[in-house]
Structure 1
Amino acid sequence: MEFIEKGPGFKSGLKDLPRHINSQTISSGLVSTIFGCTGPALVVMSAAQTVGFTIEETVTWIFSIYFFGGLLGMIMALYYKMPISGAFTIAGATLLGSALAGYTFQEAVGAFLISGIIVLVIGMTGLMGKIMKWLPVEIVMAMVGGCMLKFGINIATYTSKDFAVCGVTVLAFLLVPRVIKKFPGVLAALIVGVIAAAATGEFSGTTGAMTYVAPSLVMPAFNAKLILSCSIPLALLIVGAENAQAMGVLKAQGYNVPANAMTVVSGIGGIVSAFFGSHSAHIAGPMTAICASEDSGPKEGRYVASFINGLTFAAFGLVASYAVGFINLIPVGLTYVLAGLAMINVLIQSFRDAFVSGKFRTGSFFALVVGASGISVFSIGAAFWALIVGVVVSLICDQKDFKAHEQEAHQA
């Protein structure tokens, strides 16, 4: 496939790997792992809990997003010798808390599979530019912000109900990183919250409940309504937000970005991982940003940070059952607060991307409020309707922005 960009190759990546393993690449790789394995994992578990998935279904979901996402990052980092990290869409996971309500896990897997196929088709046909022409990133991110807003609201809701546990958790999130520089706020909140829950006797079980549960292969079932409300928004988030963010970060750092390959492997990763319950396994924006930063050392060796991130992600996926078992001991309110804290940066980023350009403002606003409403029409969730309403309103009210967007696409 000629349109897939060539890289230095695995042999070169493996040969130079030992030379670039140092405190900087190890530190960045582990920081990105800590970020990805704390708050984002809680978001997925919260979504699974919300829609009533069993522990076995939740375990295989957690396994697949981390194992295959990590494997994807290791492969891309080694082949291209660039800090390209793999993971899953955190924003997409938040959408599933409402989109999957009332559907079976098998139907969810069917929707995830279709999402992966859509991403693969976009990558293999070069449809990315055409899709973004008609569906601007501002409207996509406004939809994301609206659908995720409830996670932020949960911080206030559950803190007011249980300040002894949730209140000190929020304080730890705010204060610890100011005292201990570079200490992840979500990790501080998790540690302090667990200690507070234990001290107040709010744990809902014993550590004996933490047993190994093997991930399982899941055969998909297909539901047209769920495909509309889940598959399409997920695919658009992957190509229009996650991949685009990662590509932008790499370009800003001076790398020759393999855009086609990043989109194609994101589709393949989504398809393969879907059979184990993953909603996505693709190139990840936040983890790529951490590993591509100057903190990772000289430019030519930063790919090792993504390799380390991928390796530790895959390892975390293999022990997913213990992670799920531990989280299930935590009070529900604390879980929601931790998930909300983990989503703060994603929410801020969503609102900024939706409105900072000043384009598509009216359509973005309607996408935001429809997404936040949580409505379901014809059993199709709010994420889909937020996109539809946002585009229709922008076609009416933001016509100049659409024309300018089309011209920019032609110039690009």
Structure 2
Amino acid sequence: MSVKDLSLSAIVAGFVAVLVGFASSVAIVLQAAAAAGATQDMMASWLLALGIGMAVTCIGLSWYYKAPIITAWSTPGAALLATSLQGLTINEAVGVFIFTAALGVIIGISGWFDKLTRLIPLPLASAMLAGILLQFGLSIFTSLQSQLLLVGIMCISYLLAKRLMPRYAILWVLLSGLISVLLQGQFDYSAVTLSFTTPVWVTPHWSVSALLGVGLPLLLVTMASQNIPGVAVIRTSGYQTPVSPLISSTALSTLLLAPWGAFSINLAAITAAICTGPEAHPDKDKRYIAGIAAGLFYLLAGLAGASVVALFAALPKEMIATLAGLALLGTIGANLAVATNEGEHREAAVVTLLVTASGVSFFGIAAAFWGIIAGGLTLLLVNGLRRSR
């Protein structure tokens, strides 16, 4: 790294990317940890492990390739875990993280990334993801029953921000929610403490049903909704960084940090666009500084994980549910559009969505897996019969 490449705009871009990433989805990560039965100390350890993993990959990959390589946790993956980890122990959850990460390393090293993403039709993968996220969207409106004023203010803030400052809509939602909670006296100051995070080791246990029902869908969601868009952002920004090392590096960081709570570290998409565009620096060869800056801010955020967990624990659960739901609203819409766009796949995609959203579980295997199976069978039978006529 050259000192002459440093720029305030690139550093600010890195800071904004981390701020947007944390503010928009940390609530979903904490919900996933809670579903696994994690204590507050374990939740803080999750944020620390993720922060370290994202810091190392952002700094290392950006410096090595001289390109703004931004990594992130998988928000759709966290949403999947929040709805699929009930009934599993925290030890089995860590086993799922290790299993998924190991497969990611193999996919990255072998160069199978493109082949895997073509194996399952995109409409079915999008339908599965929409089915996973549907409950988060519904939680916005169920929260209105108990916190009409708070949730109403957050929703109005979201709509206004989407019109005026769409990139920072979730930040405005968070700020409006915090102000509303403070004015209504719903914030428990005594629960918030400033402290550094202590890592908590969890010994992994492996369950075949958990690996199939949660691990495989987590792998698919991470690849389809994070790594593929992440690669697209890098390519459309004019960087020809090789893909396989990026996939294997992020998966390896997840593998090493999984016992402390790193469930999925992958390429970023939305936040990556903040660092890869001309706003970060007019010269694209100097935008890699934004990636390095993002890594440093990720590290600071991870070290403060205990304080972040305490802060969110002191807030009303309706605020957290609404924040998560609004953060995922665009993703739900985009995936529904992809799922139902092609007539050939529409029925199969709808079946995938309904089975996934239903939450059904057979043989201890979660609904996301059965959604893909049901959609795949529908596609084979319906389209096969149509072609035979």
Is 1:386–2:371 an aligned residue pair? yes
Whether the 8 Å CA contact 2:36–2:93 is kept in 1: the answer is no
Is 1:374–2:353 an aligned residue pair? no
The whole-number CA distance in structure 2 between the counterparts of 1:310 and 1:355 is 37
SS in 2 for 1:296: coil
Whether the 8 Å CA contact 2:154–2:173 is kept in 1: the answer is yes
Matches within 5 A, 1:239-278: 239-278=223-262
Whether the 8 Å CA contact 1:84–1:303 is kept in 2: the answer is yes
For the structure 1 residues 262 and 359, does the alpha-carbon distance in structure 2 shift closer, same or farther, using more than 3 Å as the test? farther
Matches within 5 A, 1:327-338: 327-338=312-323
Query: Residue 98 of structure 1 corresponds to which residue in structure 2?
Result: 83
Query: Residue 395 of structure 1 corresponds to which residue in structure 2?
Result: 380
The whole-number CA distance in structure 2 between the counterparts of 1:23 and 1:212 is 28
The whole-number CA distance in structure 1 between the counterparts of 2:176 and 2:10 is 28
The whole-number CA distance in structure 1 between the counterparts of 2:117 and 2:77 is 18
For the structure 1 residues 40 and 199, does the alpha-carbon distance in structure 2 shift closer, same or farther, using more than 3 Å as the test? same
The whole-number CA distance in structure 1 between the counterparts of 2:271 and 2:304 is 20
Matches within 5 A, 1:170-319: 170-176=155-161, 178=163, 181=165, 184-204=168-188, 206-208=190-192, 211-297=195-281, 298-319=283-304
SS in 2 for 1:101: coil
Residue deviations 1:29-56 (CA, integer Å, cap 9, x gap): 1221111111211111122234442111
Gaps of 5+ in 1: 1-13, 403-412
96, 103, 115: which one aligns with 1:118: 103
User: TM-score, normalised on structure 1?
Assistant: 0.87
Whether the 8 Å CA contact 2:195–2:304 is kept in 1: the answer is no
Whether the 8 Å CA contact 1:89–1:238 is kept in 2: the answer is yes
For the structure 1 residues 254 and 273, does the alpha-carbon distance in structure 2 shift closer, same or farther, using more than 3 Å as the test? same
Matches within 5 A, 1:42-121: 42-121=27-106
Residue deviations 1:173-226 (CA, integer Å, cap 9, x gap): 2224655x4672222222221221222232356245555441222221111111
SS in 2 for 1:214: coil
Task: Give, in angstroms, the shift of residue 363 of structure 1.
Answer: 2.0
Whether the 8 Å CA contact 2:124–2:349 is kept in 1: the answer is yes
Percent identity between the two aligned chains: 27
Amino acid at match of 1:242: Q
Whether the 8 Å CA contact 1:205–1:329 is kept in 2: the answer is yes
The whole-number CA distance in structure 1 between the counterparts of 2:168 and 2:312 is 18
Matches within 5 A, 1:141-152: 141-152=126-137
For the structure 1 residues 205 and 223, does the alpha-carbon distance in structure 2 shift closer, same or farther, using more than 3 Å as the test? farther
Amino acid at match of 1:111: V
The whole-number CA distance in structure 2 between the counterparts of 1:139 and 1:303 is 35
The whole-number CA distance in structure 2 between the counterparts of 1:353 and 1:183 is 22
Amino acid at match of 1:376: S
Query: Residue 160 of structure 1 corresponds to which residue in structure 2?
Result: 145
For the structure 1 residues 344 and 70, does the alpha-carbon distance in structure 2 shift closer, same or farther, using more than 3 Å as the test? farther
Task: Give, in angstroms, the shift of residue 310 of structure 1.
Answer: 1.7
Task: Give, in angstroms, the shift of residue 295 of structure 1.
Answer: 2.1
Task: Give, in angstroms, the shift of residue 243 of structure 1.
Answer: 1.2
Whether the 8 Å CA contact 2:234–2:276 is kept in 1: the answer is yes
Q: Could you tell which deviates more after superposition, 297-306 or 115-124?
A: 297-306
Q: CA RMSD in A?
A: 2.3
Gaps of 5+ in 2: none
Task: Give, in angstroms, the shift of residue 145 of structure 1.
Answer: 0.8
SS in 2 for 1:345: helix
Is 1:131–2:112 an aligned residue pair? no
